[in-house]
Structure 1
Amino acid sequence: MNAADIFDVPVAIIGGGQAGLSVAKQLHKKGIRSVIFERHEKFHSWRVNRWDSFCLVTPNWQCRLPGFHYDKEYGGTDPHGFMLRAEITEYLDAFARSFEPDIREHTRVTRVAPHDDGGFIVETTAGTWTCDQVVIATGGYDTPIEPPYASKLDPAITQMHSVDYRSPAQLPDGDILIVGTGQSGVQIMEDFVRAGRKVHLAVGPAPRSPRKYRGRDATDWLYDAGHYDITIDRHPDPHKAMTQTNHYMSGRDGGKEIDLRKWHVDHGVELYGSLADMDGSKLKFLPDLKKNLDDADASYVGICNQIDAYIAREGIDAPEEAPFAKVWEPETERTELDTKDANIASVIWAIGFRPDYSWIEVDVFDGRGKPEFHRGVTDVHGVHFIGLGWLNTWGSGRFLAIEEDSAYLAEQIERQLVMVGTRSVA
């Protein structure tokens, strides 16, 4: 490689989702050229890796891409609704058209490493690039998680991860076991209930949230109260914030909360504790169903109390709510189940993902392989991350804070480019 090729592009952005394109938009405003590399097509995870009935869990007004807010520049007419999958991709595609980024689709990045002459080398399936700055915008959803004991399950039972799930029609007749009660697990549960299918649910430690409370969506109250402005540096329990599963609720049918106790009583969903093992047709669960339900309710009540305190503090006239009451308690902890006796024909794993950073050969990771940064800026000059949970606030990794996060990162990139005298215009 000759010297003329060393700085082929000022900024390489890896990942063509909303985070990567948001950084590109902010750099474009500053006259800084960037190239986005996307292994599939832009917004692939929204277009392909979501089930048919998927909709947002947070209200549309929280969709605030840089200079392209849902209810302003985009002209959306339902700010308190919850966009369906097709509507989300329409919004994202319109954002991309608003500034026409340089994006190389169907181009996988296989290696990022320091260049001998400065900057970085970016090897892709469509050739090799060099750059001054690299932005990692691939998110944390690379590798679907399935436990090792999944291989011991009776092979006659169909197994599927939530990333591959589209509708109940994909799965054979019979009961379904859904493992995990984060946002994906509980929404897929509803899909099967609506399809008239019997659901068995392994309840994990995910917290839950009210949907509408005292006359408004709970997220509206929390936004006004400044809850979403709390940074990870100021959070009272940053470890919990970083490791806790998202609160479960739904945007379906205009938005609803999910109380698993009610789904058991009203729809016959069978509830168990966390899945612990599988062997043939035998399933084993931990005796933690009561604890997990109680903990989820404690989170629910805690959010309600937080909203109550804000209303009282500000002297707001808002309707009262009846105090929370449990509609059902498990009498015993069922720790064993035979899939044959229960007529379980399928298992859906909804227990999350792991990121894959194996292609990054830069010393920006801790001993557990987690990237280290402050607001996305690492200690290695020129290497940055965007689109991860709690990059700075709760809204990081979501639509709500991507404008702020990408603006900050673009400022840091511009400063670093100016420091080494390589700032380039688009």
Structure 2
Amino acid sequence: MSVEKIHTLVVGAGQAGVAMSEHLSKNGVKHLVLERGRIAERWRSMRWDSLVANGPAWHDRFPGMDFPGNPDAFVGKDGVADYFADYAEKHGAPIRCGVDVTSVERLEGRPGFRVETSEGTFEAQNVVSATGPFQKPNIPPIVAADSGIRQMHSSEYRNPAQLAEGAVLVVGAGSSGVQIAEEIMRSGRQVYLSVGPHDRPPRSYRGRDFVWWLGVLGKWDAQPQAPGTEHVTIAVSGANGGKTIDFRRLAAEGMILVGMTGGYADGKISFAGDLGRNLNRGDDNYLSLLDEADAFIERNALDLPEEPAARVLGPEVDCVTNPLGELDLAQAGVTTIIWATGFVSDYRWLKVDAFDEAGRPKHQRGVSPEKGIYFLGLPWLSGRGSSFIWGVWHDAKHIADHILIQENYLNYSPHG
């Protein structure tokens, strides 16, 4: 069987893989991108119908190409996927779709890696894992599969019409969970939303979107403050033109908020007594950003309109002052549980020494201690901005430059 040889192999043709290809091409590095589905497949097939980008088009893009239309708009999921496909075409990215990478192992006795795929075998000097964080849906083993309650992950949700009649419990109040919960509530359903710890930035303040504020306040380069804080969810949305998420307002409109989901027994699901604490923490995060923004405006003598109404928090509601400790699902008419609980990584195909005891990638800004292995598209890869489209582009440049530098070292020979 023939073996195809390539200098650098990129696995995944989402936003990370497309950005990686651009920078490798600029550096003159021969490479190939393999994608099991279509370009930006997860944007197309693992998102709900009404999803839009969490940042406005002027910000959530690659530097080399604008989104068509209004730069202040929040682009829908299919528009985002089309953007990456068009960007790949613009830069002539060497992408092969429909190829599933099944294993990567280091070659014996010589540098490089043997890569097994559904379309044959490759050998590569470098392998970039650009599969991102959304690999395997994470559903906590709380409610048994035979409980009689339909359960789905947020990646399976498309719209309220696909759900059985009845109330819905949404577990997880990050960007995905709260948008899904609000959409279902607006369709006329009773919705219970399980709220854990979160950050809650304003969608905009004093005429500037929160992505602008994070930029001028230097927060895009922020690092996790303590182990585990890199997983704290951010409740922000671009839905319906973009608005600040206010959990108390949603509760006043009919949504029932509960604390973090705990156990399940005898048809009843239990919740932690942390709802008020979680909401207060989100409010503190929200107000602290307003304080920093006000100080920045004063310090720089900016002429931006005052917005005192932004400091008016949502009303106190009964489900917060008297939170539910448990819920009898049948009695409450709950027929569906949607787990907006994120994803876990699945690197079983990457059989190299590049992971810690918990199976998490070891790296510095995407550069693995296993020479020739790189990671791209992970949250907090280099800072807070790594979770956003433009941040992935800059992370990819750093990795492509590292690959070129290493190649130059290997090609060096003493003069004379």
TM-score of the superposition, structure 2-length normalised? 0.93
User: Counterpart of 1:409?
Assistant: 399
Tell me if 1:239 matches 2:224: no
Tell me if 1:310 matches 2:296: yes
Q: Provide the C-alpha distance between the structure 2 equivalents of 1:64 and 1:338, rounded to a whole number of angstroms.
A: 45
Q: Provide the C-alpha distance between the structure 2 equivalents of 1:332 and 1:66, rounded to a whole number of angstroms.
A: 49
Q: What SS does the aligned partner of 2:74 have?
A: coil
Which amino acid in structure 1 is aligned with residue 315 of structure 2? V
**Which deviates more, 180-189 or 54-63?**
54-63
User: Counterpart of 2:273?
Assistant: 287
Q: Provide the C-alpha distance between the structure 1 equivalents of 2:47 and 2:81, rounded to a whole number of angstroms.
A: 11
Taking the TM superposition and a 5 Å limit, the aligned residue runs for 1:253-268 are 253-265=240-252, 267-268=253-254
Q: Provide the C-alpha distance between the structure 2 equivalents of 1:169 and 1:231, rounded to a whole number of angstroms.
A: 40
Which amino acid in structure 1 is aligned with residue 50 of structure 2? S
Q: Provide the C-alpha distance between the structure 1 equivalents of 2:7 and 2:389, rounded to a whole number of angstroms.
A: 26
Q: Provide the C-alpha distance between the structure 1 equivalents of 2:330 and 2:290, rounded to a whole number of angstroms.
A: 42
Q: Provide the C-alpha distance between the structure 1 equivalents of 2:400 and 2:104, rounded to a whole number of angstroms.
A: 20
Which amino acid in structure 1 is aligned with residue 286 of structure 2? Y
CA displacement, residues 51-75 of structure 1 (integer Å, 9 cap, x when unaligned): 011001111112332522x2xxx5x
Q: What SS does the aligned partner of 1:308 have?
A: helix
Give the deviation of 1:219 after TM superposition: 1.9
Say if 2:138 and 2:341, in contact at 8 Å, map to a contact too.
Answer: yes
**Which deviates more, 93-102 or 157-166?**
93-102
Which amino acid in structure 2 is aligned with residue 58 of structure 1? G
Say if 1:111 and 1:359, in contact at 8 Å, map to a contact too.
Answer: yes
Give the deviation of 1:86 after TM superposition: 2.0
Tell me if 1:362 matches 2:352: yes
Say if 1:113 and 1:121, in contact at 8 Å, map to a contact too.
Answer: yes
User: Counterpart of 1:388?
Assistant: 378
User: Counterpart of 1:14?
Assistant: 11
Q: Provide the C-alpha distance between the structure 1 equivalents of 2:91 and 2:293, rounded to a whole number of angstroms.
A: 39
Q: What SS does the aligned partner of 2:264 have?
A: strand
Say if 2:246 and 2:314, in contact at 8 Å, map to a contact too.
Answer: no
Which amino acid in structure 1 is aligned with residue 134 of structure 2? Y
Which amino acid in structure 2 is aligned with residue 21 of structure 1? V
Q: 2:77 aligned to 55, 72, 85, which one?
A: 85
Q: 1:340 aligned to 303, 326, 330, which one?
A: 330
Q: Provide the C-alpha distance between the structure 1 equivalents of 2:307 and 2:300, rounded to a whole number of angstroms.
A: 18
Taking the TM superposition and a 5 Å limit, the aligned residue runs for 1:26-425 are 26-65=23-62, 67-68=64-65, 70=66, 76-116=68-108, 117-151=110-144, 154-155=147-148, 157-228=149-220, 230-232=221-223, 237-239=225-227, 241-245=229-233, 247-265=234-252, 267-322=253-308, 323-329=311-317, 330-421=320-411
Which amino acid in structure 1 is aligned with residue 298 of structure 2? A
Say if 2:150 and 2:337, in contact at 8 Å, map to a contact too.
Answer: yes
Which structure 2 segments of 5+ residues have no match?
Answer: none
Q: Give the aligned length.
A: 407
Give the deviation of 1:238 after TM superposition: 5.0
Say if 2:136 and 2:345, in contact at 8 Å, map to a contact too.
Answer: yes
Say if 2:39 and 2:81, in contact at 8 Å, map to a contact too.
Answer: no
CA displacement, residues 385-412 of structure 1 (integer Å, 9 cap, x when unaligned): 1111111121113212222211111111
Which amino acid in structure 2 is aligned with residue 10 of structure 1? H
Q: What SS does the aligned partner of 1:420 have?
A: helix
Q: Sort the Cα spacing of 1:152 and 1:291 in 2 relative to 1 into closer, same or farther, 3 A.
A: farther
Which structure 1 segments of 5+ residues have no match?
Answer: none
What is the aligned-residue RMSD (CA, Å)?
A: 1.9
TM-score of the superposition, structure 1-length normalised? 0.91
Give the deviation of 1:171 after TM superposition: 0.6
Q: Provide the C-alpha distance between the structure 2 equivalents of 1:278 and 1:177, rounded to a whole number of angstroms.
A: 13
Q: What SS does the aligned partner of 2:386 have?
A: coil
Give the deviation of 1:153 after TM superposition: 6.3
Give the deviation of 1:12 after TM superposition: 0.5
Q: What SS does the aligned partner of 1:257 have?
A: coil
Q: Provide the C-alpha distance between the structure 1 equivalents of 2:367 and 2:235, rounded to a whole number of angstroms.
A: 30
Give the deviation of 1:240 after TM superposition: 5.4
Say if 1:203 and 1:271, in contact at 8 Å, map to a contact too.
Answer: yes
> Percent identity between the aligned chains?
36
Q: Provide the C-alpha distance between the structure 1 equivalents of 2:270 and 2:229, rounded to a whole number of angstroms.
A: 29
